[in-house]
Amino acid sequence: MSTEKTDVVIVGVGAAGGILAAELSKAGMKVVGLERGPRLKTEDFMAHDELRFFARQDLRPNIKRSPVTWRPNVNARAHPLQELDYGNEAGGGTVHYGSLSWRMHEDDFRVRTKTIERYGASAIPADSSLVDWPLSYAELEPFYDKAEYELGVSGKAGNLEGKKIEGGNIFEAPRKREYPLPPLIVDESGLLYEAGAKKLGLHPFPSPRAIISQPYHDRPGCTYCGFCQAFGCHVAAKSSILVTKLPEADATGNFKLITGAMCYRVNSDDSGKVTGVSYYGPDRSDNTIEADLVIVSPFIYDNTRLMLLSRTAKFPNGLANSSGHLGKHIMAHMMAGVFVTFDDRYVNNFMGPSAQKHTVDDYNADNFDHSGLGFIRGAQLSIGTPNLEGGPISATTIAPPPGTPRWGAAYRDFIARAYARHGAMVAQTENLPYADQTIDLDPDVRDAWGLPAPRVTYDWRRPNERARVDFVQKKLVEIGQAMGGVEVWPAPVSPAGAPGAHHEGGTRMGSDPKDSVVNKYGQTWDHHNLFLVGSSTYPTMGAGFNPTLTIEALAYMTADAIVNRYRKNPGQLL
Ligand code: SF4
């Protein structure tokens, strides 16, 4: 057993924690980072081993050691999820993600107000806990800019200070300057998608990604190897926290990273202050770090779980839970897929960076009129790879058209015909928050450290969500037909009600301690020296956009507030 003392301890050094580690240690604060997984190197990703990274998912939490359970409602028995998409190593999910790097739209920060203004209060489902964010796009814009330039994001501006630019996303919020790097090369799937979407009067553009299209900050540009999402990058062209911010933190001499460290409690005293954390080391030793400031920034399940595990006689419902909102308002993007095949075009969509390669934003957020549609909000519509992951095995996970079985000679013939000649499109839908979508502690399932597993209670099959998925899937079918596909068909969407991707919420931010867990800086209302930073704080999903760039921008904003204000008056409410 060991005890050490530091200024700041950070639990989880991924998209949020890695940025905070670098920024605070550069400002002279002594920082200790705790990471459950290992710290890997770029050389570790040289082997493009699909069995290891795609099938076995070695860069993600092991579902037996770190189970997360799910049930559709409180009356159902929870079962372990069979795939966990987030990261389990230093750098977190940014090591293996598809690197999509979106700024949220202006109206994404004011969804409740804007919806009522345009459609009336009755457009919001009565049981939804839809709210505005406690900050505006304008407040976050400088930190989006900082994240794009410090990390390295490739893309094409579509709205430069209000001037709309064709070829970029004309629906994006105004930005002060271009992306630091030009877009990645558009592949055959993107060219076909672009032509089809334009025929329908839509506005396609290359998706912005934290993958450098050219040499940048001493790293080489992307080689278009194809083993991208689910893999680490073998040349460090993916702008992960592992190759960007952690080396910056190392260089200060103020940062120490402890890997294989399972944090099981945030310690607190009766005054309301937190005093540090306790963790199990790789050798099962039981250790304590005393710190003036505690930042908790793992994936959302573990943010809520750690608060619940840290309950005391003084805080019997868990830390940061005086509002009773801890663990509530969970959201997920539902992935509504549509496939298209060609007789005469080789698409070879297993090549190049995977995930969502080319996008239309016309049916996202409130970028279109929802009057009479029976739902609010929308989806990012894009083309990429089946499963959105990289490599040739992943490319065979295409769901066959109705009438074709998933086995035997007919399936073999389908794969032989369609493998190199299909496009895989996906609508990434923005689901609404509901208070009864929750994370709590599973009473029956424990992890490898003997701690209760996080239990997710979630069912996406609500009227608003179903209507949205039906609508955007039909729009993708129209695009597939406009692309000239010989067959176009939708894939089934989680028929049992399981959550999709990018789970968010659980420690929502707000401007009132009575109905939120943290303020806009991630500072908990109940313990002013405890911060929760990451997508667990999102009050709404931020459109159908992937969450990572907003996590990173929020982390920069929190770091700025801590360095320039909190540090001068520790314990103050920011
Ligand atoms: S496609 Fe590019 S960014 Fe992705 S792993 Fe390959 S080289 Fe790296």
Length of the chain: 574
Q: What is the DSSP letter of 461?
A: -
pLDDT of residue 104: 98
CB 388 within 8 A of CB 227: no
pLDDT of residue 214: 98
Which residue, 14, 162, 189, is CA-closest to 85?
14
User: Above 90 in pLDDT, residue 189?
Assistant: yes
Number of alpha helices (DSSP H) and beta strands (DSSP E) in the chain: 10, 20
User: Above 70 in pLDDT, residue 518?
Assistant: yes
Atom nearest to 225 CA in ligand 1: 6
User: What are the CA-CA distances from residue 512 to residues 73, 112, 134, 325, 506 (Å)?
Assistant: 28, 16, 9, 12, 16
Distance of alpha carbon 143 from alpha carbon 148, whole angstroms: 9
Using alpha carbons only, how large is the chain's radius of gyration in Å? Answer: 23
pLDDT of residue 85: 83
Q: Which two tokens stand for residue 146?
A: 């900082």
CB 87 within 8 A of CB 38: no
- Residue 185 beta carbon below 6 angstroms from any ligand 1 atom: no
One-letter amino acid for residue 278 of the chain: S
Phi-psi region of 329 (alpha: psi -120 to 50; beta: other; left: phi over 0): left
Distance of alpha carbon 386 from alpha carbon 54, whole angstroms: 12
The Å distance, Cα 325 to ligand 1 centre, comes to 40
- Residue 353 beta carbon below 6 angstroms from any ligand 1 atom: yes
Atom nearest to 232 CA in ligand 1: 5
Higher pLDDT: 55 or 354? It is 354
pLDDT of residue 54: 66
Q: Which of 104-113, 127-136, 347-356, 447-456 has the lowest mean pLDDT?
A: 347-356
The Å distance, Cα 238 to ligand 1 centre, comes to 6
- Residue 95 beta carbon below 6 angstroms from any ligand 1 atom: no
pLDDT of residue 57: 67
Distance of alpha carbon 331 from alpha carbon 523, whole angstroms: 21
Rounded average pLDDT over 196-201: 98
Distance of alpha carbon 208 from alpha carbon 184, whole angstroms: 8
Task: Provide the mean pLDDT of the chain.
Answer: 95
pLDDT in tens, 46-60: 988 877 766 666 778
Rounded average pLDDT over 365-377: 97
User: Above 80 in pLDDT, residue 322?
Assistant: yes
The Å distance, Cα 66 to ligand 1 centre, comes to 28
26 — pLDDT class (breaks 50, 70, 90): very high
pLDDT in tens, 383-416: 988 776 777 777 777 888 999 998 999 999 999 9
Distance of alpha carbon 552 from alpha carbon 573, whole angstroms: 22
- Residue 263 beta carbon below 6 angstroms from any ligand 1 atom: no
Residue with tokens 């992937």: 546
Pocket test for ligand 1, best of 154, 209, 225, 231 (most atoms within 8 A of CB): 225
Burial of 247 from C-beta contacts in 10 A (0-12 / 13-18 / 19+): exposed
Distance of alpha carbon 171 from alpha carbon 106, whole angstroms: 10
Closest Cα to atom 2 of ligand 1? 222
- Of the candidate CATH numbers 3.50.50.60, 3.30.56.10, 3.30.2010.10, 3.30.300.30, the domain formed by 3-568 belongs to 3.50.50.60
Q: What percent of the chain has pLDDT over 70?
A: 99
Q: Which of 148-152, 411-415, 430-434, 507-511 has the lowest mean pLDDT?
A: 411-415
User: Above 80 in pLDDT, residue 534?
Assistant: yes
- Residue 211 beta carbon below 6 angstroms from any ligand 1 atom: yes
pLDDT of residue 229: 86
Rounded average pLDDT over 543-563: 97
- Residue 191 beta carbon below 6 angstroms from any ligand 1 atom: no
Burial of 240 from C-beta contacts in 10 A (0-12 / 13-18 / 19+): buried
User: Would you list the DSSP string of 489-537?
Assistant: EEPP--TT----EEEEEES-B-S-TTS-SB-TTSBBSS-TTEEE-SGGG
pLDDT of residue 388: 67
pLDDT of residue 83: 83
User: Above 90 in pLDDT, residue 373?
Assistant: yes
